[in-house]
Amino acid sequence: MAFSDFHVHPDYSIDASGSVEQYCVKALDLGLEAICFTTHYDYNPVLDKDSGYWKYEGEKVKLNDGIVTAYLDEINIAKNRFGKSGLGVYAGIEIDYTPGSEKEADRLRSLFPFDFVLGSVHCVKGYVISEEGRAEEYFTGRSAAQAEDDYILLLTQAADCRFFDALGHLDYYIRYGRKYHRDLINNINIEKYDPLFETLKRNGIGIEINTSPYKRGETGFHPSEKILERAIDSGVIISSVGSDCHSPEQLGLGVKEAYGFLNDRNIKPLYPL
């Protein structure tokens, strides 16, 4: 069975390390069929001054089209070089969705030849919920049920703006919310996901299986298997499998397990095409 990792953060992402070339070398070592780079694009018009930066040539730089072009150029060089060794190299991006970011997502999609555009939610109601030390402000002010409702609503809005090939880590709020609500936040009412699934199907958008728990020494996926099962039963496309790695050492972690989950159900991810 061939495996691909379609959620990879090279050192253009502020919180990542490892060059495009280093990741490709590691992918060949692991025997991966393909790799897709999905650098964070955190365009958040309502958040804070830290939104919208990449690393470029070792410096923290405000996002601009020139840097995106340089990123794509580097990936194209890797496509040509590592393609000769049988590795598929794809140019992607992970756009952080928040209300108001639709116009920028549309602009990026129209301007640049991305192979894969992943949408995800890291911020809710102006709060960053995906960082230790910042998530507390959000989760201590609302119940687990409210957090679930807030997150699913944003995902549904993202699915309805139609700029994404897939949505990532559909229950990611659990990672940091668990600290404040303990096991309560794991008791998800999965029926709440049904409107999201209908929106995804209507717009032809898939979902990823995100294996990031493995890089933390855990097991399981985002979303959880019970959400995945409901999505599959609802007819939602499984777009891809991705480790959400932020260093070459994390590349491919949990990917084999996710492909095994899909293989048991006779499902093949849509990507790589």
pLDDT in tens, 80-92: 999 999 999 999 9
Handedness of CA 54, 55, 59, 60 (dihedral sign): positive
Residue 271 within a domain = no
**C-alpha dist (Å) from residue 90 to 13, 33, 97:** 16, 11, 21
Residue 76 within a domain = yes
Q: Is the pLDDT of residue 145 over 70?
A: yes
Residue 145 within a domain = yes
20 pLDDT band, cuts 50/70/90, is very high
Cβ–Cβ < 8 Å for 151, 173 = yes
The confidence score (pLDDT) of residue 47 equals 59
Handedness of CA 229, 154, 118, 15 (dihedral sign): negative
Listed range (10-14, 49-53, 263-267) with the worst mean pLDDT:
49-53
Cβ–Cβ < 8 Å for 245, 215 = yes
How far apart, in Å, do the first and last CA atoms of the chain sit? 16
pLDDT in tens, 155-198: 999 999 889 999 999 999 999 999 898 877 778 789 999 999 99
Helix (H) or strand (E) holding 88: strand 88-96
Tokens 């116009």, residue located: 103
Residue 189 within a domain = yes
pLDDT in tens, 202-252: 999 999 999 999 999 999 999 999 999 999 999 999 999 999 999 999 999
Cβ–Cβ < 8 Å for 213, 254 = yes
Helix (H) or strand (E) holding 239: strand 238-242
The confidence score (pLDDT) of residue 58 equals 86
| Torsion angle (degrees, nearest 10) of CA 155, 159, 161, 167 | 80
Residue 270 within a domain = no
Residue 184 within a domain = yes
How many domains, the chain? Answer: 1
Residue 269 within a domain = no
d(CA 81, CA 55): 23
Q: Is the pLDDT of residue 100 over 70?
A: yes
The confidence score (pLDDT) of residue 132 equals 84
Phi-psi region of 255 (alpha: psi -120 to 50; beta: other; left: phi over 0): alpha
Tell me the residue type at 140: T
Beta strands in 126-232 (DSSP E): 127-128, 166-167, 206-210
Mean pLDDT of 57-73: 94
Residue 74 within a domain = yes
The confidence score (pLDDT) of residue 216 equals 94
Q: What is the pTM of this model?
A: 0.95
**C-alpha dist (Å) from residue 229 to 171, 261, 262:** 14, 10, 10
Supply the CATH number for residue 72's domain: 3.20.20.140
User: Domain span at residue 133?
Assistant: 4-263
The confidence score (pLDDT) of residue 48 equals 54
Q: Is the pLDDT of residue 75 over 70?
A: yes
The β-bridge relationship of strands 123-124 and 127-128 is antiparallel
Number of helices followed by number of strands (H, E) in the chain: 9, 11
